[in-house]
Structure formats: structure tokens, C-alpha cells
């Protein structure tokens, strides 16, 4: 079935396609959400003004869309490059028991990287750091990337990486050089539209999956689709070229659930995002579901149990 037919189906039968099944696992940890407040005096560096994402987004907003599908806990990933926004999230998380951890945003090429890691790692909710693709390019930032990775490992933290297929070989090199550092690839490694995968994605996924300290976050699935805003296909069959290859490469032990909310709204609503992976992993059996929806993230992030 092609993309046009999927989009026509989504428009004609929205009620039928939005039927919500119960979570296939006994617990679900959404390991990729973003919270921010553009109304702060200093504003925010992201998202851009005059976009649908430029609005106050808080845990209660996420709970309103995630709660109805049975998702009650989350791990936040910081998109802001401002150092003090790491503290802003940690302060927010202190009073929000639904938040089990936080992946901060710190640049390893800055001279204060080690001091900032030490500062924030003192809070047990701080579970790792996210780098964008250019920061982990071993050919350009080799010394900073390796040194930063070793600092994270020494504090018992993990590394989230965000970028496209070209990032993956560099990530594999880093994973091999620092084997005691858990690395989580964000957003499918930038697969592209499931019906039109980006060049080298399949091969690079196969290669990086050989590094046993690397996990793949099945997040931003609907945002990969080339479609009008919010109209990504709602049938899991459309996404099988991506999901099946990730399953074949990483297996049941190194795939992790993440929604990428609220950015995911650009592709589809939260219930659609959840239903797609809920249906897919349900077909893999109950043990695979438990691992995908929360146990694997516990291994990668070592997040905190909140009372």
C-alpha cells in the first residue's frame, strides 16, 4: 500500500483507526519527552517562535495525552543548549514523580564540560547527556568526543546521540573506544520515510548494532513520514521496513520506547504514536514487550524509581 492510500485511509476512517488497545506491557517508560516554557523571562532557544511547538509544555500537558493510553512515567531529553536549562529541568523533576530521569544537554567541546557533568551528576535524576551529530564526529572532534565519553562513563552516565545515518559509523567508533559507556541512538538513526529509506541507513544500522553497548530508541517514527502536518499513516504495516530492520539488528534486548512528544505531534497524535509500537511489539510476545517498554531503558539509563 502506498503513502497516498494510507493518507486517504487516515482521512476517511479516523474513528476506526484510533481504537486504543491496552498497553502490551505491565509498565511503560516514555524515554523521550521535551518540556519547556517560552513565557520565562529569558525565553527558550528552541522551539522557534511562530511555530506550533512554541508554547508552554509541562508534565501535566504530557500526562493529559499519555495517561489515557496507559503511559505514566517519562524520562526527559533536553533540546536546549543552555547549560542552566539542565538545572531548570532538574528543579521541575524534583516535584514530579512521573519523571524517572533526565538526559541533559552539554557540549563536550567546551572547557567546562567536565565540571558541568560533575555538577549535574550529583543529582540522581541526571542520567546522561545528549549530543547532536556534529559533536560526535570522530574525524572532526575526536579528542573532545573521546574525552567527553570517558567522563560520562566515569560518572555512571549514558550518552544519547541525535543525527542521521552518517552519524552511525562515528557512533560505532565511539562505542568501541569506550565500551563501558551506554549509548542510545535517538530517532531510529534518522531512517527517513519507511517507504523511502535514506541511503546507507540499513547498512549502518546493521553495523552499529554489533556494538553491544548501543541501544536504539524507537522514537520519531511518525516524523520520518513525508506527509501533511499530523497526517502520518496510522497502520503499522507502513512502518515495517524500519521496525523489522531494527528488530532484526538489535533484537529484543536493545530497543527502547520513546515518543518524542510534543514534536511527535507533527506526525500524529500521542495515541497514534503509542498504538503503532504497541501493536508491533505485542506481536513479538509478552517478554519482548516488557523489555521494549521499560526494562531495556532501565539497563541503558539506570533511571530512578520514584515513590
Grade residue 168 by pLDDT with cuts at 50, 70 and 90. very high
| pTM for the model | 0.92
- pLDDT at position 106: 97
Lowest-confidence pick of 25-29, 135-139, 241-245: 135-139
Mean pLDDT of 67-81: 97
The per-residue pLDDT for 242 is 98
pLDDT (0 to 100) of residue 19: 52
Across the range 126-147, mean pLDDT stands at 90
User: 16: pLDDT confidence band, cut at 50, 70 and 90?
Assistant: very low
Mean pLDDT across 134-142:
82
pLDDT at 123 over 70: yes
pLDDT bin (cut points 50, 70, 90) of residue 62 is very high
Show me where the domains of the chain are located: 26-301
Task: Report whether pLDDT(80) > 90.
Answer: yes
pLDDT of res. 136: 84
Closest CA to 164 of 197, 141, 139: 197
- Residue 53 CB partners (closer than 8 Å, separation 6+): 47, 262, 263, 265, 266
Alpha helices for the chain (secondary structure H):
3-12, 14-17, 59-66, 84-94, 113-121, 138-154, 167-177, 201-208, 240-250, 270-282, 286-290, 296-301
Confidence tier at 3 by pLDDT (50, 70, 90): very low
Instruction: Give CATH superfamily name and number for 26-301.
Output: Metal-dependent hydrolases (3.20.20.140)
What's the CA gap between 307 and 233, in Å, rounded?
Answer: 38
Amino acid at each position: 500500500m502506498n503513502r497516498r492510500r494510507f493518507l486517504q485511509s487516515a482521512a476517511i476512517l479516523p474513528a476506526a483507526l484510533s481504537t486504543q488497545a491496552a498497553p502490551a506491557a505491565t509498565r511503560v517508560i516514555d524515554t523521550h519527552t521535551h518540556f519547556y516554557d517560552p513565557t520565562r523571562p529569558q525565553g527558550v532557544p528552541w522551539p522557534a517562535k511562530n511555530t506550533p511547538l512554541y508554547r508552554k509544555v509541562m508534565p501535566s500537558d504530557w500526562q493529559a495525552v499519555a495517561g489515557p493510553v496507559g503511559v505514566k512515567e517519562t524520562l526527559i531529553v533536553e533540546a536546549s543548549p543552555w547549560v542552566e536549562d539542565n538545572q531548570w529541568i532538574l528543579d521541575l523533576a524534583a516535584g514530579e514523580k512521573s519523571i524517572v530521569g533526565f538526559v541533559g544537554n552539554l557540549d563536550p567541546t567546551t572547557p567546562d564540560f567536565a565540571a558541568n557533568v560533575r555538577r549535574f551528576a550529583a543529582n540522581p535524576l541526571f542520567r546522561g547527556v545528549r549530543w547532536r551529530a556534529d559533536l560526535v564526529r570522530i574525524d572532526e572532534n575526536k579528542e573532545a568526543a573521546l574525552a567527553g565519553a570517558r567522563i560520562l562513563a566515569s560518572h555512571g552516565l549514558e550518552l544519547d546521540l541525535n543525527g542521521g545515518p552518517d552519524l552511525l559509523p562515528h557512533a560505532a567508533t565511539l562505542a568501541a573506544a569506550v565500551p563501558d559507556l551506554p549509548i542510545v541512538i535517538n530517532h531510529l538513526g534518522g531512517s527517513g520515510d519507511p517507504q523511502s529509506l535514506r541511503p546507507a541507513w540499513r547498512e549502518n544500522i546493521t553495523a552499529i548494532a554489533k556494538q553491544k553497548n548501543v541501544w536504539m530508541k524507537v522514537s520519531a517514527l511518525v516524523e520520518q513520514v513525508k506527509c501533511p502536518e499530523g497526517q502520518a499513516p496510522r497502520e503499522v504495516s507502513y512502518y515495517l521496513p524500519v521496525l523489522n530492520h531494527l528488530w532484526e539488528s538489535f533484537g529484543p534486548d536493545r530497543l527502547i520506547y520513546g515518543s518524542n512528544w510534543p514534536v511527535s505531534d507533527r506526525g500524529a497524535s500521542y495515541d497514534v504514536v503509542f498504538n503503532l509500537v504497541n501493536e508491533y511489539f505485542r506481536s513479538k510476545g509478552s517478554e519482548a514487550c516488557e523489555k521494549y517498554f521499560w526494562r531495556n531503558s532501565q539497563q541503558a539509563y539506570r533511571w530512578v524509581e520514584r515513590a
